[in-house]
Chains A and B, each alone.
Chain A
Amino acid sequence: MGKNCQWGGDTSRRVFVVRFIFLVVISGFLASCATFDAGSTPVAILVSDRLAAYQQVADALRARLPRARIYELDGDPRKAQAVMVKLRDEEAGAVIAVGSLATRIAIKASGRPIVFCQDFNPEDIRAARVAVRGVRAMPAALKQLQAWKTLDPRLKRVTMISGAGMGEFAREAAAGARQLGIRLQHVEVQSDRELLYAAKRTDADVQGVWFTPDNRVLSTEVLREVLAYNVRQGKQTLVFSAQLLGLGALLSVEGDPHDVAARVIEQLHPAGGAPVLAPLQRARASINIEVAKQLGLVVPPPMQAGTYVF
């Protein structure tokens, strides 16, 4: 069963501050190591698949990096290997990996600096032989909770279900929740069936369930079932992709492609002390108006168009 964590006391706050200072020191060290020159040689952009979320980011990058060369991997690992062999023979600068496949293959096969994005669960970049920096795939937890709170000001108690290894984000979310006056419960699960089990056994007074993106514990069937279950139970659901709104989710908060591209450019030329994993600055919230009506929510004017970038 997942581990339940709550942050609300002074001890937890001290631990959080210590860990934050440690992260800042490590990030500064890594940023200094990962400094590379991206202006002299063209950048190679590896796109994992022809998904809208990847293509939008790739398009934004090409607009900012006219000399960059884009390589479509089409979700095919063998094609990805071939692209990496080709890149070895070419004179090129850094590699921008969009998506999980591109990130994994670039870390394994590239000898150039790598900036990745749109990967929700990147592998341990510390094991990489080259300088690796990245941009978070999800907006900050606070922003997501702010969007949810904007939609439902009466939101008081939510449960966040995630896979293992999301402790930092969980702490960030806990902090954001406290800031917004929300009591957040974190449940960590090991598999999709455990996620389903946990989702169906949330407390009755929990108003919403927040599913963080983790391919290890999510499956399409479970998502479909748990979202439908929540609708039947009158519970709100915060998800990571607007695609899930069609299955019954209330709200999705994603990164904005241009913001992602801008953060990637910044990671190509990181300033001193910049974090290895750069946070997004903007978020794009999408609302399922029908579900909102069913749940008795009054959609605020900024969100009535269905999409709200902030």
Chain B
Amino acid sequence: MNRWLRAGVDRLASQQHRWRRGELFATRAPGGGNRSLVGRLLAALVVTSLCIYVAAVAGLWWSGGRLIEDSARKQAVQWLAELDELGTPIYATRRPEPAMRALSARLKNVPEIIYVRYYDASGGRVLGEYTARAREPRLALTAETLSTAPAKPGNRPYQLAELDGARVRVTAPVQVRVLAPDALLDLAHGPARESMKVIGFLDFVFDAGAQQAQFERSLIGGSLALALVFGVAVVLGRRKIRRAMAPLTELQEPLARLARGDIDVDMSKGGGDREIAAIREALNVTITALKERADALRRAECDALTGLVNQRYFKRQLALERSHVERDGETSAVLCIDLDRFRAVNDVVGDAAGDRLLIQVAGLLRARIRDNDLLARFEGDEFIALIRGVNRDGAVKVARSINHVVQEFQFAAGEERFPVTVSIGIAMLDASQPTAEVALAQAAAACALAKTRGGNRHQVHDGDEAKLSPDSNSPAWSRYIQTAIQDNALKFVYQPILGLHDDAGEMYELLLRLVAPGGELVSPTAFLPVADRFGLLAELDHWVIRRACEELARVRAGGRSATFFVNLSGHVFEEGEVLMRIVGEELARHKLPGEHLVFEITEQAAIRQLDRARAVVEGIGKLGCRFALDDFGSGFSSLNYLKHLPAAFIKISGTFVHNMMSDALDEVMVRSIVQIANALGMQTVAESVEDRETLQRIAELGVSFAQGHAIARPAEALPDPGFFASHRWFRARTGSSKVNSSGPLVRSARKR
């Protein structure tokens, strides 16, 4: 059971969700290495942080460098305006030295200014000069600077050249503005009326190296601080990711169990973020679906009562085993195990107790087979076991152990205890078997044979028994039975029933026989299972009724007045209307009085469908026919039902009659049955009367009729009309009759 359940779960798990360890956690990614999702996320975090850090630092360096350059340019331009204004006195006097000294004193505090030179309008003569370093080379003004035209008012033209390092050289003309004469009274349009005039040139070098060095030191410090921040961010991010991924990692173990087929995993516990909770929820839904599917599979292939596999699953496995043994040349065995007298127990203690008995027997059987064997309950009290890899001896050993352990078991229902036995049929499964179904049928037939032989035993199917007990699953046998019905290949044998106290006339029980292809007569115990399995019982009952009526008509046509006891199956109660119609038609067709027909039904069949049985008995009674309860006392039925079943005869089971001379209890049983029957106005028939003492005794006990070898064996022809007259002396004087003590003992456990 575990094996097929596990296989189903595996299949479902792989088809529906593909939740496998490898796919979820990339422990073994297709074509990849043994990598961890958490590790990859951490690596992504580190790489991302590094990229951001590098980009940030590069951006800082680049933008900082640009900022420094721009700042140097702007400062240079600002210094241009400043130096332009500060140099104004130099152009306003012929002795610029004092002004230049004042300017130099101020510029000494400005390390960025390397030198400043003021030229005259020609650019050839230096009017004033400041040099921070003694040996600063004097750069000549360029032609471009000298050719600079006076700019429009509002503009300050200059040339800016980058020297080595962070030094910038700025050259610009020194200009003055002159208003047009009439513009003094029109200052609103003044700029348009102004003209510019170059009065000299300014040349200086601005060095932003110190600022740049300071900036680089600051940038290095900032980069280190930024690296520290990113490092802390990576550490915190790593902890955060681990904490966030922990619930996902915790899913690894239950998912692995799920992949191995264990669906009893619980994923509802544990935290996690919304996405992980969604995964967990999806997994729970999946597991629930898997459980439901597993339950459905179990229900579909399992017997709800005992928990064993059912017939369908067993047959499938049996077919697989058949292929297996054919391929490997091994042998296995099929055991058909049927409880003896289960219906009787069920009738006495009720269905619930019967179910409990089946459950307990299933437990006993399961304990006697191995794990790799297979045990199924087909229907009712029938169990089938597949014993793998055993030969005939091994199978017999298993069957013997089952017989033994069941026999040791006593079923308790309330205060009552019932002995339980089983009948076991064994069929070997090997390459010689055409199909697995054949082995199954052979086992069933052998089981039936074991029951026929008294139950609580096992029977191995072999060729000889096959002759006596046709394969119950064989289509050929079912066709043969059908043909026999159609071709009247069935026949009756007659066993006289003797009235013990008065002359009741000729009375016979009609016992059904099948003429086998070889001509031998096959008893019902051999072919009835086949008829039952292939649904031929009703047809067989109809044939029996028609044939009995024909025989009765023929006998009566010969001038003899006889009463026939005809055996019917319990199936007739399921279609009582049809039965009554056929009986009525046959009686009418042969113009027979109904009182010459007595239909026998077994006690168990009547009790099983008591209401239907009573209706049918009453219906048939209206036609004049009577009913007899066959094999009465063999079950454990309550006597109460007799009040509700208007039978005319009670046929006392041969099990009581057979031993009553030696078993006082059996005699008490016979006496009690007779007393009850008398109280109910019923007549009694003792079956299986084997000797004269028994005949004498049952007569003394008040039994109405008797049949058995002590009176006559069943025969294919009716005895002479004087047969019953020869027994009149018995009724006149008990104990002086000639009773034939020899002949076969036919115990009608299941007779026709």
Interface residues of A (CB under 8 A from B): 1-2, 48-49, 51, 53-54, 75, 99-101, 104, 118-121, 189-194, 196-197, 213-216, 218-223, 240-241, 243-244
Contacts and interface: CB of A to CB of B under 8 A. Distances in A.
A21 B182 CA distance: 32
Contacts of A218: 179, 184
B1 interface: no
Given A190-B92, A194-B91, A196-B88, A221 B154 contact: yes
A57 to B, nearest CB: 10
A118 B181 contact: no
28 contacts: A48-B182, A51-B185, A75-B182, A99-B181, A99-B185, A104-B181, A119-B181, A189-B92, A191-B91, A191-B92, A191-B176, A191-B199, A192-B178, A193-B85, A193-B174, A213-B184, A215-B178, A215-B183, A216-B179, A219-B190, A220-B153, A220-B179, A220-B187, A220-B191, A220-B194, A223-B190, A243-B186, A244-B187
B92 A219 contact: no
B56 interface: no
Contacts of B88: 193-194, 196-197
Residue among B154, B179, B190 with max Cβ neighbours from chain A (10 Å):
B179
B95 to A, nearest CB: 10
Interface string B183-216: 1111110110010000100000000000000000
A243 B186 CA distance: 8
Nearest to A254: B185
B89 A1 contact: yes
Contacts of B174: 193
A304 B686 CA distance: 160
Nearest to B96: A1
Contacts of A240: 184
Contacts of A215: 178-181, 183-184
B187 A223 contact: yes
Contacts of A191: 91-92, 176-178, 199
B121 to A, nearest CB: 12
B182 A99 contact: yes
A47 to B, nearest CB: 10
Contact of A221 (B85, B93, B153): B153
10 nearest CB pairs, A to B: A100-B181, A219-B177, A220-B190, A191-B176, A215-B179, A197-B88, A53-B185, A243-B187, A1-B92, A213-B184
A51 B182 contact: yes
Contact of B177 (A104, A118, A222): A222
Contacts, number: 97
Contacts of A1: 89, 92-93
Contacts of A241: 184-185, 187
Contacts of B179: 215-216, 218-220
A45 B191 CA distance: 28
Contacts of A192: 176-178
A101 B187 CA distance: 16
A118 B84 CA distance: 35
Contact of B178 (A101, A118, A216): A216
Contacts of B185: 51, 53-54, 99, 118, 241, 243
Contacts of B153: 219-221
A283 to B, nearest CB: 15
B150 to A, nearest CB: 13
Given A1-B89, A193-B91, A243-B187, 8 more contacts: A120-B181, A191-B91, A191-B176, A196-B85, A196-B88, A215-B178, A215-B184, A216-B178
Interface range on chain B (Cβ under 8 Å from partner): 20 to 34
A197 B85 contact: yes
A221 B176 CA distance: 11
Interface in B83-116: 84-85, 88-89, 91-93
Contacts of B199: 191
B359 to A, nearest CB: 113
A223 B187 CA distance: 10
Nearest to B195: A219
A49 B91 CA distance: 34
A219 B187 CA distance: 9
A243 B175 CA distance: 25
B179 to A, nearest CB: 4
A58 B69 CA distance: 59
B186 to A, nearest CB: 5
Contacts of B176: 191-194, 219
B198 to A, nearest CB: 12
Contacts of A51: 182, 185-186
A25 to B, nearest CB: 30
B186 A197 contact: no
A63 B214 CA distance: 75
A2 B183 CA distance: 24
B181 A101 contact: yes
Contact of B92 (A54, A118, A194, A216): A194
A220 B179 CA distance: 8
Interface string B57-99: 0000000000000000000000000001100110111000000
Nearest to A103: B181
The CB with the most chain B CB atoms within 10 A, among A1, A54, A223, is that of: A1
B625 to A, nearest CB: 144
A101 to B, nearest CB: 6
B184 A221 contact: no
A191 B197 CA distance: 10
A219 B153 CA distance: 9
B92 A197 contact: yes
B177 to A, nearest CB: 3
Contacts of A213: 184
Nearest to A99: B182
A241 B187 CA distance: 9
Most central of B180, B182, B186 by chain A CB within 10 Å: B182
B186 A49 contact: yes
Contacts of A54: 185
Nearest to A197: B88
A218 B175 CA distance: 13
A121 B92 contact: no
A54 B185 CA distance: 9
A287 B431 CA distance: 135
A51 B185 CA distance: 8
A286 to B, nearest CB: 13
Contacts of A120: 181, 184
B54 to A, nearest CB: 49
Contacts of B191: 220-221
**Most interface-central of B176, B178, B190 (chain A CB within 10 A):** B176
A255 B223 CA distance: 70
A121 B179 CA distance: 12
A188 to B, nearest CB: 10
A193 B91 CA distance: 10
A240 B179 CA distance: 15
Contacts of A190: 92
A219 B191 CA distance: 8
B97 to A, nearest CB: 13
Contacts of B177: 191-193, 219-222
A183 to B, nearest CB: 24
B733 to A, nearest CB: 169
Q: Which of B88, B92, B177, B181 has the most CB of A within 10 A?
A: B181
Q: Which of B88, B93, B174, B191 has the most CB of A within 10 A?
A: B88
Nearest to A221: B153
**Interface centre among B153, B174, B187, by most A CB within 10 Å?**
B187
Contacts of A219: 153, 176-179, 190, 194
A153 B409 CA distance: 142
A244 B190 CA distance: 11
Contacts of A119: 181
Contacts of B175: 193
Nearest to A216: B178
A190 B600 CA distance: 158
A244 B92 CA distance: 26
A220 B84 CA distance: 18
B695 to A, nearest CB: 157
